[in-house]
Structures are given as C-alpha cells and as structure tokens.
Structure 1
C-alpha cells in the first residue's frame, strides 16, 4: 500500500475516528485505526463492537491494501506533521512509513486479520438538517445520566412519528425534551430507540458541519452518515422511563428573565454552595432573589428585576442543573415555569417575532427542586 494525501484531510479524518476509540481497549487491535485504499479513496475506520466510525478521503494512490496501526499514535503524528506539505504513506511488511516534509515516522502494524469486520450502515430511514440535529442532541444529552450501572438513564430516546423527531433524556433529576422535523423515507414511520448519549452527542457534533445527515435504523444499530463520514452506534436494549407524565401541564408562577443575567447571577451566588447547600429562588413583586449558604460557611444573595406572573414562591435547586439547562437553551430570554416548591420546574426558551414574544414549545428542560429545610 502506497499513497499521497493532503495533510489536513488525513489529520481531520484520523482525529474524527480516533475520538471514538476506547481509551482502554479490551484487546489491542480495538485501539487501532484501519487504513484501506480502494481505488483513489482512503478509508479511515475504527470499531470497538459498540461504535464504528468510517471516513473517506481522496488520495493519489500508487497501490492498494489495508493496514492497522495504533490509533493514538497515528492521530498524534498526523496532527503534528507540517500543514503545508502532502503526506506520503507506504506500508511494507510489518511497518508503515509516514512522511510529511522533512519529518518521517515508522510505525509497527497490528495484525489486521484479527480486526473485526465493520458493521454495515443500516438502510436509510430518512434525513435531517445536520446543524438542527446537532443542536437538538446537545440540548437533550445534557440531561442524560453518566452512571453506567443505570443504562436506561445514559441514553437519548429517539422517537419517530412521521415527520416529527423527538429526543429525550433524563438522569432522574432533570429531563430534556426536544422536537424537530425531519424527512422520513416512509411518511407513516413510527418507532423509538435508545442511543448512548455521549456517543450520539459526539457523532452529531462532528457531522454538524454537513448540510444534512442520513439516519438509518436496523439490526440493533443507529447509523448516521454525512459528508463522506459515517458512524454506527449499538442501541441500548433497555426500557426508557415514561417521561411525558413528568412534564407539568399548568403553572402557578412564571418568571421571564434574560438568560445571560440569570446565568451570571447563579454562578456568583453558587460560590457558597460547595458544602451541599442548594440555591434558593424567591419570587416576590417582580423580583427574583437568589440566595445560598448560611452564617457558618458564608452567604450570598442577589436580586434580579424580572417579569413575573402568578403567586409568590420560594423554591430551591441544584445550581449546576440550572446552569446546564441555561447553557443549551439557545435563546436570549428564559421563562421559568413553577407550580409548587416540591414540584419540578421548567426552563422554556422565549422567542420574539414581529414584536410578539412566545414560548418555543420545541424544547423543554425540566429540573427537580431540592428539599427546603424545615
């Protein structure tokens, strides 16, 4: 195998594939990156039985073949090569030589015959705008759990009902739900799957620069394909929580406040919450007062003028959960919708169009309150 390739194209493809490789592969070959020449196309691929990634790059090939090399080393080398010089790669025997400008590296190959075959991309189920899909995944994955002993909470539920795509995730303390439109291959398509959140977020973000993403479902896999790159993810075979019943249908108090002002105030007041104290919110007469801490370990308080409607309220939250929601709201103003101090609250993005301000019903971020003392 011998070919020449643009350094930027090679480095981008290798970095994308390497990102999905396991940090501690159960067997050494799963930490490798497969390089394969098919005509004038280089296929860069990785697979760990759960996630597969594959990127195609145009090259000037002298001879074909396939080799397996350390993914970590290959990523570091291609990133460090001179950016203005093409890269020459040649494989001979059990060695691969990588040359860029005056730099030359020689890597040992790994036994390619021990490498598992990559799964096929599932048949296309439809397509979705890439940037909208990436944003929707980011907005929901933030609420997914990180405890692998509770797999049903580590995924993003993807529901398909015709042209509506609904994403949902929860870790029991907050819930994020995002709806968007897509173009299904079958107009009456109806299904739901659970996808590992971290893997889906990485894949959606990396494909977000394309115009559209082709989505495929089948054989226990979710496939995403865009711009010469494709990834498959093994689905979680567990039951997701019945989340829709958690969403409040009515509110007794609402507060509209600029996202940036509320976020900065929460960060300041939360400086005294290190010892397990929660942040308290009090709504009175058009003022949202944030307090935290106590006399023994320090106390913080900040009052924000807001547009408030409804009954006065005192409620407490984990400040990190609030900041996570505000960080992915993608709006200048947020509506905080409350019912009682013991019931979950909603963070809703507000949008203004033709001088009319309304709630963007496509996204809802629910957060459970903390118990107030006494």
Structure 2
C-alpha cells in the first residue's frame, strides 16, 4: 500500500475512527485500526464487536492495499505531525509514515485475524443532520452512566411514520424530544435502545452534511437486543458510518410522567437562571439541593454548606397558579447539576417550570416568548429533592 493524504484530513479521520477503540480490548487485535487504500480513496475502520466506525477520505493512492496498526498510537502520531502532506507505505510487516522530515515506523498487525465489520442495515430514513445533533444533545443529558444498569445508559429511539422520538432517563430525570424526519416508508414503526454514548458521539460527528441516514435492522425492538442500528453521514474530511448493537432490557414506561397536569407554572429567563444557578450552586454541599423559593413575581435560589457558606439570589419570574387561589407550594429542591444540564440544552430564551405538588416531578419546557405557549417537541422532567423541614 502506498498513499498520500493531507495532514489535517488524516488526523481528523484517524481520530474519529479510533475514538471507539476499547481501552482494554478482550482480544488484542481489536486495538488495531484498519487502513484500506482503494481506487476511490482511503477507508479507516475500527470495531470492538459492539460498535463499528468507518470513514472514507480522499487521498492519492499509488498502490492499493490493506494494513492494520495500533489505532491509539497512530492517532497520537497523526496529531503531532507538522502541517504537510503525509506519505504512508506499508507491507505485511510494518507501516511507515513520512511527513516532512518526521518519519515513523509502526509494526503491522495480522489483517487476516481482524474480524469482519458488520454491514449497515437497509436504510430506514433520513433526518436533517443539524436537527438530529441538537435533538440527541437535548436527550442524552438525562441518560444514565451506571454500566451496572445498562438499560438506563441507552436512548430509546421510537419511529412512527414521519415522527422520530428520542427518550432517555436515569430514574431521577428524563428527557423526550420529537422531530419530523423522512422515512423510506410512511407506515414504518420501530423502536430501538441505542447506547447513549455512541449516539451522542455519532450525532456530533456527522453535521458537515445535510442529512444523516438511519438504518435499523429488523431485530431492533428496544428489548431483544438482537439487532443493530446504523448511521451514515458526512463529517469533516469525508463520509462516515457507524453501527452499534442495541441494548438488552425493557425500557421503563415513563412517557406518562411527561403529561402530568401542572398546578403551578413558573416562567423566567433561561440565561439569567443559568447564571444565577451557577453562582448559587458554588456553595452547595454534595448531595444537597438547590432550593427554589417561589413568591409573587419572583423566585429565589438558595444553597448552603452547613454554617460555612451560604448563597441566595432573587430574580424576576412569572408565577401562575393554574386553578387560582393560594400557591400550592412555596419551595422546590433541585439537584444543581440536573437543573443546569436541563437548562443548558433547552435552546430557548425562556423556560417554564410546571409543578404539581411538593416532592413530585417537575416538567421543564422551552418558551420562545415569556407569555407564549410551551414548545411541545421537547420536554425535560426532574425529580425534586426532599427539602429539610
């Protein structure tokens, strides 16, 4: 194999393909990155039996061929190269990289021992890449990170005709985003439980093109775990595709919590609330709440670390009791991190807090205008913390 690539193109491609390489591979060969040169360019691939990544980039190919080398080492080398074209020559024993006066020689791994990458299933439909990236970012913040509870580390993808829904929960918060997409069949109906980390990385890395193609194998039902899902799109440097196995387990039925009737609505500026919450949370003790006290046209944020430090900040808000009368509750306790996560992905100038009762879940929805209707395609629920006393 003999090829030449631009340094930035190579570095970006290697970095992306190597991002999913296992830290402690079950089989040493899985630490390798597969480089294949062909007449239409260069393809770099990685696979760990769960997730595969493949990227195609443009390059000058003098001799076709395939090589397998340590992916993480190659990524480190490519990041350090000077900004000049990179020449790569390889045989069955070694790979040699030359960039200006820098030269590296890597030991080649046996290509024959590398597992075959799974094929991307037949396309189910397409979605605008920017909308998909935003939707995924809004939902994955609510996904769990405890690998001992794998079902909560996934995002439930629901497809019903031209509606694509993303739903995640870690039991203490949940997020739902619905968006319109372009299915290959208007009668398509399917679900899949996709690892949140893979979905997040994939969505962020495919925004250079106009759309992302989603391909869901027939086995994808969100519970059997016997199918795979594929994503094809464009990122910096070239065409990218990812496949990942679906997660096992029954996703909890939490959609009904999103539709709870509110007794109290509190509306305020998103950016001002984020700034205030960040300041007040500086003195919050670990595992203690950020207290929101609700008054007439004002909310006050409070936090403390015992007798050592305390903070309060008041800001204007529109407070509405749904059925009139007295306030059904005067204070609510939020996990500071959960609150800031939710506000940070809201993507709206104003936010509506829909409260039901003390200690019950609180629904956050974005508002385009302070006195407008909530934007219904995104909903975020936070379980309130118990307040002392």
Q: If the length of structure 1 is used for normalisation, what is the TM-score?
A: 0.96
Residue 350 of structure 1 pairs with residue 389 of structure 2: no
2:380 equivalent among 346, 359, 365: 365
For residue 156 of structure 1, what is the aligned residue in structure 2?
155
After superposition, the Cα gap between the structure-2 partners of 1:204 and 1:295, relative to the gap in structure 1 and judged at 3 Å, is closer
Residue 363 (structure 1) shift: 0.4
| Alpha-carbon distance in structure 1 between the residues aligned to 2:66 and 2:252 | 44
Q: Secondary structure at the match of 2:359?
A: coil
Residue 248 (structure 1) shift: 3.8
1:218-276: CA deviation from partner (whole Å, max 9, x where unpaired): 15111000121100011012110101122243111111111111111111211222243
Q: Does the CA contact (< 8 Å) of 2:67 and 2:91 recur in 1?
A: no
More strand by share: 1
For residue 297 of structure 2, what is the aligned residue in structure 1?
286
| Alpha-carbon distance in structure 1 between the residues aligned to 2:148 and 2:306 | 38
342-351 or 264-273, which moves further after superposition? 264-273
For residue 256 of structure 1, what is the aligned residue in structure 2?
267
For residue 7 of structure 2, what is the aligned residue in structure 1?
7
For residue 203 of structure 2, what is the aligned residue in structure 1?
204
| Alpha-carbon distance in structure 2 between the residues aligned to 1:262 and 1:192 | 36
Q: How does 1:325-336 map to 2 (within 5 A)?
A: 325-336=342-353
For residue 244 of structure 1, what is the aligned residue in structure 2?
255
230-239 or 289-298, which moves further after superposition? 289-298
| Alpha-carbon distance in structure 1 between the residues aligned to 2:91 and 2:67 | 10
Q: Does the CA contact (< 8 Å) of 1:131 and 1:208 recur in 2?
A: yes
For residue 231 of structure 2, what is the aligned residue in structure 1?
224
Q: Secondary structure at the match of 2:366?
A: strand
Residue 44 of structure 1 pairs with residue 51 of structure 2: no
After superposition, the Cα gap between the structure-2 partners of 1:278 and 1:226, relative to the gap in structure 1 and judged at 3 Å, is same
Give the root-mean-square deviation of aligned CA atoms: 1.4
Q: Secondary structure at the match of 2:119?
A: coil
For residue 214 of structure 2, what is the aligned residue in structure 1?
215
| Alpha-carbon distance in structure 1 between the residues aligned to 2:306 and 2:112 | 67
Q: Secondary structure at the match of 1:359?
A: coil
Structure 1 segments unaligned to the other structure (5+ residues): none
How many residues are matched? 371
| Alpha-carbon distance in structure 2 between the residues aligned to 1:277 and 1:36 | 53
Q: If the length of structure 2 is used for normalisation, what is the TM-score?
A: 0.92
| Alpha-carbon distance in structure 1 between the residues aligned to 2:371 and 2:337 | 31
Q: Secondary structure at the match of 1:272?
A: coil
Q: Does the CA contact (< 8 Å) of 1:18 and 1:75 recur in 2?
A: yes
For residue 79 of structure 1, what is the aligned residue in structure 2?
79
| Alpha-carbon distance in structure 2 between the residues aligned to 1:126 and 1:151 | 27
For residue 192 of structure 2, what is the aligned residue in structure 1?
193
Q: Does the CA contact (< 8 Å) of 1:177 and 1:365 recur in 2?
A: yes
| Alpha-carbon distance in structure 2 between the residues aligned to 1:294 and 1:86 | 56
Structure 2 segments unaligned to the other structure (5+ residues): 220-226, 322-326
For residue 53 of structure 1, what is the aligned residue in structure 2?
53
